[in-house]
Amino acid sequence: MHDRTIAELTEGLKSKEFSSVEIVQNYLDKINASDLNAFITITTEMAIKQAQVADERIAKGNANILTGIPYAHKDIFCTSGVRTSAGSKMLDNFIAPYDATVSYKFNQAGLVMLGKTNMDEFAMGSSNESSFYGATRNPWNKNKVPGGSSGGSAAAVAARLAPFATGTDTGGSIRQPSSLCGVTGLKPTYGCVSRYGMIAYASSLDQAGPITQTAKDAALVLNVMAGFDEKDSTSAQRDVEDYTQSLNNSIKGLTIGLPKEFFSEGLDNNVASEIMAAVKEFEVLGASVKEISLPNSKYAIPTYYVVAPCECSSNLSRMDGVRFGHRCDKPKDLEDLYLRSRTEGFGEEVKRRIMIGSYALSSGYYDAYYLKAQKTRHLISNDFKKAFKEVDVIMGPVSPTTAFDLGSFKDPVSMYLADIYTLSANLAGLPGMSIPAGFSHNMPVGLQMIGDYWSESKLLNIAHQFQQVTEHHSQIPLKEVV
């Protein structure tokens, strides 16, 4: 049962082949037997109750298409009555008093939460190693990272510990772990999914999306996640389309753009070969390929690592040990309370980014760093606008390599390079997607697709057509674990 897609599980529930309670118990058993450290909190009792309610709704005939389907929730979404830690000691004792909009929508649809997944602390990292709760392990090789920051979610879906999971993507944190774990991950256009109740890292970059086995599953989940939310000032006022409607459209005549900057020095040769093999599959399906240039993409890393830390230093200033979160023992005075609570509560990577951001925003440096980064961000966005006048979709690698070994990066700046191909889409606010495209040395390789604004349906259609003629997405790692 655990290897079925969401679409297959919904059919089984509809035909009464099994109940939601049976599905949920099956996944809970697997989660408890797993040693991947993919979950921070397992909500066993809540999940069973939600599944029982879902079965009642199905029996009465008032169920939605996803009613009774279980999922894993990244521990960055507030969930009423359940710990929401963001992978940090700072929020280890934080019980959210309300639901994030995404959590609320899932509850209304009758979905069942299995638990909260492990993640890099406050979504800052590319390997899941900065989590206060320890690193998640890649199910294809437990000595390697699953990627980050949504590493727990990607590992859970890859190991079939959940049929799907939520993720958030600030600089590639849905796409990169999806690539390293061999699953499908979608980062929608900025403003497509409400950020209300999603603990903020960098507010102008953060976007939530689904991590699934297939593109069809991603479409089903996005149908629930997407939509305007008056509680979120960055939410776009657009009607929600049915992302499943165009999945079966032909992609004949599609023009694929391959940025020459994505295939230059630094890209592993085996990864490049798998990406080009995947592109050839699209040519067989009737697409054409054109080389393009994104000349300002080389500035994506320095631009991102000014903008994101500046925004995180502002967002995390509320974590002061006063209103919620970690508080030091027996503070001498208010200054001591602030100093020791933040020193004890935050991990090294979070402190590093707060300090960088505070420095860049300080008097005399704002124009030199933050303002210049925002101007460069505009140039990066313009590159994409120019490219989409010539092509329908941009393709390339998600990551320069396959999953790297746990503990292999001692220099944090070197790890930042793992995001070199994903950052530009966030800086421009564009939708991006990673789909399984092959294997290198028995580790998954993901193909990245970047679309124009609000082209999620097109991306899902392209991905679905590829998955109809390939089997990379159906491969399951470590059968003894899953």
Do 168 and 188 contact (CB within 8 A), yes or no?
Answer: no
* Among 126, 127, 149, 178, the one annotated catalytic: 149
Active site residue 264: no
Range of the structural domain that residue 450 is part of: 1-482
At 191-242, the pLDDT tens digits run: 999 999 999 999 999 999 999 999 999 999 999 999 999 999 999 999 999 9
User: What's the whole-number average pLDDT of the chain?
Assistant: 96
Exposed, middle or buried: residue 279 (CB in 10 Å: 0-12, 13-18, 19+)? middle
The answer to whether residue 480 scores a pLDDT higher than 60 is no
* Among 173, 297, 399, 424, the one annotated catalytic: 173
Torsions phi, psi for 226 (to 5 deg): -75, 160
* Among 19, 30, 34, 74, the one annotated catalytic: 74
Residue 323's pLDDT is what? Answer: 87
Residue 450's pLDDT is what? Answer: 98
At 330-362, the pLDDT tens digits run: 999 999 999 999 999 999 999 999 999 999 998
The 3-state DSSP class for residue 396 equals strand
Closest CA to 222 of 423, 4, 71: 71
In Å, the largest CA–CA distance within the chain is: 70
Mean pLDDT in residue range 393-420: 91
Residue 2's pLDDT is what? Answer: 78
Percent of the chain's residues with pLDDT above 90: 93
Number of domains in the chain: 1
The answer to whether residue 81 scores a pLDDT higher than 80 is yes
Torsions phi, psi for 270 (to 5 deg): -70, -40
Mean pLDDT in residue range 54-73: 96
Active site residue 149: yes
β-pairing verdict for 208-212 and 164-168: antiparallel
At 423-471, the pLDDT tens digits run: 999 999 999 999 999 999 999 999 999 999 999 999 999 999 999 999 9
Residue 415's pLDDT is what? Answer: 86
Residue type, 15: S
- CATH code, 127: 3.90.1300.10
Exposure letters 304-342 (e unless 16+ CB within 10 A, then b): bbbbbbbbbbbbbeebbbeebbbbbeeeeeeeebbbbbb
Active site residue 173: yes
The answer to whether residue 363 scores a pLDDT higher than 90 is no
Which two structure tokens, joined as six digits, stand for 79?
A: 């969930």
